[in-house]
Homo-oligomer: A and B are copies of this chain.
Amino acid sequence: MHEPQTLVPATETKMTARDVKVFYGEKQAIKGVSIDVDMDNVTAFIGPSGCGKSTFLRTLNRMNDTVASARTEGTITLDGEDIYAPSMDVVQLRARVGMVFQKPNPFPKSIYENIAYGPRIHGLAHGKADLDVIVEKSLRRAGLWDEVKDRLHDSGTALSGGQQQRLCIGRAIAVEPEVILMDEPCSALDPIATAKIEELIHELRGRYAIVIVTHNMQQAARVSQRTAFFHLGELVEYGVTSDIFTNPKQERTKDYITGRYG
């Protein structure tokens, strides 16, 4: 198991959210959340079920647009650009802000095609050889290459749960995004697979801005440098991970972390 991580002085703020509110129809799911995501630190979102972690995460790459009833207010920027501005191109935004879902969702295509999908639609590869290189590199980074290199043309759905999740991470990496959002990427995985993915997060850190939602506080402590604690759609506390876990400022955070909550 890994040691808790120490905060690196942020060099570059990648994304900012200011007073973000999300409504599902009448119901408000996010109540004015402001957060900064930087390149060099991993940000973890924790909080009880239904507090709005996933919802907030999905506002960061506008995946909430696909939910008919969802409505977002406030400003979110990526490199200073407002991502909800009409001039913002959603397709490009999503390519720049990749996402890994809680439940692994490989396409019912071959492993190779799963990875190649993104580079193909974005025209990142020039020719087959180039694509092969991208696929190999992405699978290597996702820690899956050795396990699947001999069966790249098997279906992605034929892999075990942990492998599927790594495939999805590889798929997200393949388009070289700038930010990676992960929604409970390890909840379906055993400790070994989890450890692999955590290792991967460490490796990716610094190259990508990473946001991870997790239920597992140990995991949050292990992989993140900043932690945001959500409760009932509010951002209760946001700060350096080690502070949050050892010295929470808010009573609610403390109660949650020590399990006295609910």
A interface residues, Cβ below 8 angstroms from B: 1, 47-50, 102, 160-163, 187-196, 215-218, 256, 259, 261-262
Q: Is the CB of B259 within 8 A of A193?
A: no
- Contact status of A50 and B160, CB under 8 A, knowing A188-B187, A262-B196: yes
A228 CB → nearest B CB, Å: 14
Cα distance A215–B191 when bound, in Å?
6
Q: Which residue of B lies closest to A165 (CB)?
A: B49
- Since A192-B256, A192-B262 are in contact, a sample of 8 more A-B pairs with Cβ atoms closer than 8 Å, ordered by chain A residue number, is A48-B192, A49-B163, A49-B192, A50-B160, A191-B259, A193-B262, A195-B262, A218-B218
A-B contact pairs, 8 of them (CB 8 A): A49-B190, A49-B192, A49-B193, A187-B187, A190-B215, A191-B216, A194-B215, A196-B262
A82 CB → nearest B CB, Å: 31
A232 CB → nearest B CB, Å: 12
Task: Report B-chain residues with C-beta under 8 Å of the C-beta of A262.
Answer: 192-193, 195-196
Q: Per a CB cutoff under 8 Å, which of B188, B192, B218 touches A261?
A: B192
Task: Report B-chain residues with C-beta under 8 Å of the C-beta of A1.
Answer: 259
Give the 8 A-B residue pairs with the shortest CB-CB distance, closest first.
A192-B262, A49-B190, A49-B162, A50-B160, A190-B215, A48-B190, A49-B160, A48-B192
Cα distance A95–B47 when bound, in Å?
36
Q: Is the CB of A217 within 8 A of B188?
A: no
Cα distance A161–B53 when bound, in Å?
13
Q: Is the CB of B193 within 8 A of A48?
A: yes
Q: Per a CB cutoff under 8 Å, which of B47, B49, B161, B217 touches A49?
A: B161
Q: Which residue of B lies closest to A186 (CB)?
A: B215
